Structure 1
Amino acid sequence: MQTYSFSLPREPDLDDLADLAEQAFARLPEPFRIACGRVVFRVAEAADPATLRALGLSHPLQLAGLYRGASVRLEIANSGHLPPPEVWLYRAAIVQEWRSRGNVSLADMVSHVLVHEIGHHMGLSDADMARLEAEDEAAD
């Protein structure tokens, strides 16, 4: 498993992003990892056109990650009879946002997207996560 610094000598590929996602997941606290249960992590170049249309998006660079599936609470209520939930990371959008920010490492960018999508699995909304991030920044 490779560890990356702020800048890469080449454009990161899908395998690079998968490695970074694996490293980010491994750094999460064990109870959080356990709570992820059956979540399957996937990396793709970009979201497919049908996914973009369903979300009301017009361009693949508008979507860095996606959670597909029921929240952990609904999965428990259905005794695991639902298909496994998926966290999708989209390379093109993540790399574009990383490059445009210029003040964050690629590893941190991947970790941020991964944790955000896992948050959806845990039943958190975008507003919930924005509030938690604001509280975390205020504590620093």
Structure 2
Amino acid sequence: MVPPDQLPPTADEIEAIARATIAGLPDAFRAHLDDVVLIVEDFADDETLDALGIADPFELSGVYHGRPVGEKSSMDSGAPPDRIHLYRRAILDEWVDSAVGLTALVAHVTIHEIGHHFGLSDADMHALEASAER
């Protein structure tokens, strides 16, 4: 039996890191994330990969499904909730191949997908990441 401290992080552990990242965001951002669903799965499904033109599921660590806050209208009622998907196996693969710690990597992917929720540019996403409490 493999000792627990030698097992790869579970989906629940990655979700906990992502939720802690969200909790550390400035209030102005957190206030608009209550209705966003956070989902951690091992890999993206074929439909998502095909829609993004990605052949290797290890190449996608996260994705945002929804309309950015600035594009929403009252006509959106009945639409499925916005979702942030984190893909555990792709995140773990990147973690093993980089010098970045797991917490920092999951935070980076989570904030990047949150940035899409707000329609932020890459520069704005980096600023948001820098402002998050860890």
TM class by shorter chain equals 0.7 to 0.9
What's the counterpart of residue 5 of structure 1?
A: none
Answering whether residue 49 of structure 2 is matched by residue 57 of structure 1, we say no
Answering whether residue 103 of structure 2 is matched by residue 121 of structure 1, we say no
Structure 2 CA distance, aligned partners of 1:16 and 1:123?
27
Q: Which runs of 4+ in 1 moved over 2 A?
A: 131-134
What's the counterpart of residue 46 of structure 1?
A: 43
80-89 vs 108-117, greater mean Cα deviation: 80-89
Report the 3-state secondary structure (helix = DSSP H, G, I; strand = E; otherwise coil) of the residue aligned with 2:28: helix
Match of 2:105 among 106, 109, 117: 109
Please, what TM-score do these two structures have when normalized by structure 1?
A: 0.80
Identity %: 38
Size of the alignment, in residue pairs? 123
Structure 1 CA distance, aligned partners of 2:101 and 2:31?
26
Write out per-residue CA displacement over residues 29-66 of structure 1, whole angstroms, 9 at most, x where no aligned residue.
12110022411111000101111011100011010000
- Segments of structure 2 that go 5 or more residues without pairing to the other structure are none
Please, what TM-score do these two structures have when normalized by structure 2?
A: 0.83
Match of 2:28 among 20, 25, 31: 31
Task: Report the aligned-residue RMSD.
Answer: 2.0
Answering whether residue 74 of structure 2 is matched by residue 85 of structure 1, we say no
- Segments of structure 1 that go 5 or more residues without pairing to the other structure are 1-7
Q: Which amino acid aligns with 1:47?
A: A
Q: Which amino acid aligns with 1:97?
A: E
Report the 3-state secondary structure (helix = DSSP H, G, I; strand = E; otherwise coil) of the residue aligned with 2:31: helix
